Amino acid sequence: MTGAVFSEEWKRTLYCAEPREEHAGRRAVLNGWLRARRDLGGIIFIELWDHTGVVQIVFNPEIIPEAHARAKDLRSEYVLAVRGTIRVRPEGTENTELDTGNVELLAEDFMLLSPSKLPPFDPDDADRVNEELRMKYRYIDLRRGDMQRNLRIRHRIAKLTRDYFDKNGFLEVETPILTKSTPEGARDYLVPSRVNPGDFFALPQSPQLFKQILMISGCDRYIQIAKCFRDEDLRADRQPEFTQIDVEMSFITEEDIIGLIEPFIAGVFKEMTGDEIPVPMPRLTWKEAIERFGSDKPDMRVEMEITDVTEVFAGGENPFSSVVGEGGVVKGLLVPGGGSLSRKEITELEARAIELGSAGMANFQVRDGSLRGPLVKFLSGDAQSMLVKLSGLTSDGIFFIMADRSWTRACETLGQIRLEIARDRGLVGGGWKFLWVTEFPLFEWDDESKRWSPVHHPFTAPMNEDIDRLKSDPGRVRSRAYDLVLNGVELGGGSIRIHDPQMQSLVFDALNISPELARERFGFLLDALSFGTPPHGGVAFGLDRLVMMICGAKSIREVIAFPKNQKAQCPMTDAPSSVEKSQTEQLYILSTAPERDGSQ
C-alpha cells in the first residue's frame, strides 16, 4: 500500500512500548520506524520503534501471505503503520531486555508511510560512531533511546523548575536577546543593525543587567530559563549557546538564596534519580577550598586533602628554605596506598607537576619504620617527626610535596595532581557530593592588562567588612558570591549585587573603569540604580550541566537537541556559513577574512 494517504484507520492505538500480556487478543495499530529486520526463512520479524521503545512485529506467510510478501522489501528506518493482533510470545522466545519482551504483534496489514535511504549509521550502535557524523545526522542520532531519554529528562527538569519557582512566588519574565554589548569576560556575539548602519546588537552572555533592572522595577522575584551566548573556547561542558536557570530576588541576603536553592536542587534529584540529598549542604569559603583541595570547585568524592607543611621546611639547609623565607609555601598531598607506586609512575607524576607549572615535586615514604625520600637528608630528626605527624604518612602511603612562592599555584597544582591520581587509582567515591563555595575574591589581577578584573562580574557586592580595602588593598576584598558545586562540576553561582550607586562607583574605580567608560557601557544600569534600588541578589544554574549530571552524560552536547561541535559549528545545517554579498552590503559590512579555497 505504498503511497496511500495516512488516515484515521492507520493512526496508532498504542505506542510501541505499551503492549503487555494483558493486551493479548487485542487488535492494535502501531506507528514507528523499522529498527531491525530478521527473515528466518519464512517468518519475518521486525522491531518497530518510536520514542517510547520497541515492540516485535511478526509477519507469518501462512496467516497473511500478501502482507508477508510485501514485508520482504522493508528496510531499516522505514516509517510504518502496522495493524494486527497482540499475542503472548511462545514460551522460550521472550526477550527480557525489552519492556514488551513477553508479547508481539501478529501483523495483518501495514502501510509504508515513508521509505528511508540507507542510514549512515545504526542508531543502536551510535555510541561507537564518530561524534561529528552523529551531529551531522542528528535526526538519526536523536532516535536513540538514550538521546530520547535525555530530552525527556531535560523537559521534566524544566517543568519542575517552573513549578517550584511558581509556588514560591516568582514571576517568569523574558529578557531581550538583542541587547547592548558590554565587553567584560567572554567575547560577545555581535549582530549588525541594518536600520542603524555601523551599530551592533550583542547576544546576551546572561540576563544579568536586565534582571537587576527588574528588581529596581519592583518585580521582587524573577525566574527565567534563559538562552545565553558566549564566544569562547569550547570544551565538554561549554557551548556557544547554552541555557541557564536564572533567578533574582529583592530584599534578601545570601542565606535567602541558599535556603531557596537547596530544596529546589534536592527536589529535582529526588524526582529524577530517587536519591535523597541531605540539606543543608556543606559549605567552604573559597580560601578553605583552595587550601584543602586546590580548587574552587572541589570534587568531594575524593577524600585526599592538601596539607600545609611549610613550617617543616622553615630555616635549615633544605632546598625549600629560601622559598619559605621569601614568603612562599610548601604543600603536600598524602596518597593512601601510594606506597605501591612504581618508580616510573612517580617520575611521571613529577613530570606532570612541572607541566602544570610547578618547579618540581618531591616525595616521602615510610620504609621499615624510617622516613625515606630524596629530601630526608636535609631534615633533622625533629623535622622528620613533624612531617610524618602533619602528613599522616604510614608505610602504605606516599606523600608528595612542592614549594612555590605563590600559595595559589602550589595549591592548584597539587589539586590537579589530586584529581588525576584519584581517577587513575580508583579513589573517586560514589554518590552526589554537593558543596557551596563562598566568599570568593572580588577581584583578580590580570597580568596582560595590568589591572584588576572582576572574578564574577563588576556588579557583585563586596563583603561588608572588606569595603575599606577597595581603595587600599583590592586583592584582599572578598565578595558576597557563592557557587554550588556537584562532584567537581560548577552547577551554578551567583551573588548579592551592588544596590548603592556610590559603592558601584568604588568598584568601577578599583577596576580602572573611568566614569566615562562606565557611562558608555553601563549607563542605563547606573541611571536605574539612582532611582531607588532594593538590596537584591540572585543565582544562575546551567540547565545543560544539571541535565548532563543527572543523565550521566559525558558532555552537554548529549543533552542539547542540536548542539555545536568544538569548532562552534553545526555539522547538520553547516552553520555558520557565508551569505550573499547583497546581505552584507545592506548591513554595511565588509569582510576582511581571507577568501576560502573552493575545496574547503
Element (H or E) spanning 161, and its range?
helix 145-167
AA letter at 202 = A
CB contact burial 67-100 (16+ within 10 A = b; e otherwise)? bbebbeebebbbbbbbbbbbbebeeeeeeeeebb
Q: Does the pLDDT at position 597 exceed 70?
A: no
Instruction: Report residue 183's pLDDT band, with 50, 70 and 90 as the boundaries.
Output: low
Q: Using one digit for the tens of pLDDT, what is the confidence trace for 323-339?
A: 999 999 999 999 999 98
The percent of residues above 70 in pLDDT, for the chain, comes to 98
Instruction: Report residue 182's pLDDT band, with 50, 70 and 90 as the boundaries.
Output: confident
Return the bridge partners of 402, or none: 331
Grid cell 552523529 in the structure block, residue: 134
Question: What number of other Cβ atoms are within 10 A of residue 121's Cβ?
Answer: 15
Q: Using one digit for the tens of pLDDT, what is the confidence trace for 242-259?
A: 999 999 999 999 999 999
Q: Is 109 in a helix, a strand, or coil?
A: strand
Q: Does the pLDDT at position 599 exceed 90?
A: no
What average pLDDT does this structure show over 385-408? 94
Q: Using one digit for the tens of pLDDT, what is the confidence trace for 85-124?
A: 999 999 999 999 999 999 999 999 999 999 999 999 998 8
Q: Does the pLDDT at position 1 exceed 50?
A: no
Q: Does the pLDDT at position 511 exceed 60?
A: yes
575: DSSP letter: B
Instruction: Report residue 450's pLDDT band, with 50, 70 and 90 as the boundaries.
Output: confident
How many degrees, rounded to 5, is the angle at CA 229 between CA 295 and CA 251? 70
Alpha helices in 356-424 (DSSP H): 381-391, 407-424
Instruction: Report residue 5's pLDDT band, with 50, 70 and 90 as the boundaries.
Output: confident
| Listed range (158-167, 169-178, 412-421, 584-593) with the worst mean pLDDT | 584-593
Q: Taking the alpha carbons of 544, 548, 554, 559 in that order, is the dihedral positive or negative?
A: negative
AA letter at 171 = L
Q: Using one digit for the tens of pLDDT, what is the confidence trace for 186-213?
A: 799 999 999 999 999 999 999 999 999 9
Q: For residue 600, what pLDDT is reported?
A: 38
Mean pLDDT over the full length of the chain: 93
Q: Is 50 in a helix, a strand, or coil?
A: strand
Q: For residue 594, what pLDDT is reported?
A: 83
Q: For residue 116, what pLDDT is reported?
A: 95
Q: Using one digit for the tens of pLDDT, what is the confidence trace for 9-32?
A: 999 999 999 999 999 999 999 999
Q: Does the pLDDT at position 593 exceed 90?
A: no
Q: For residue 20, what pLDDT is reported?
A: 96
Bridge-based pairing state of the strands 283-285 and 434-438: parallel
What's the rounded Cα separation, in Å, for the pair 491 and 244? 10
Q: Does the pLDDT at position 390 exceed 80?
A: yes
Q: Using one digit for the tens of pLDDT, what is the confidence trace for 43-67?
A: 999 999 999 999 999 999 998 999 9
Q: Dmax of the chain from CA atoms? A: 95
List the one residue out of 415, 400, 419 whose CA is nearest residue 296. Answer: 415
Report how far apart the first and last C-alpha atoms of the chain are (Å, whole number).
44
What average pLDDT does this structure show over 295-313? 96
Phi, psi for residue 114 in degrees, rounded to 5: -165, 125
Return the bridge partners of 432, or none: none
Measured CA to CA in angstroms, residue 96 lies from 20, 47, 89, 100, 227 at distances of 13, 15, 12, 8, 42
Q: Which three cell numbers stand for residue 489?
A: 562540576
Phi, psi for residue 143 in degrees, rounded to 5: -80, -10
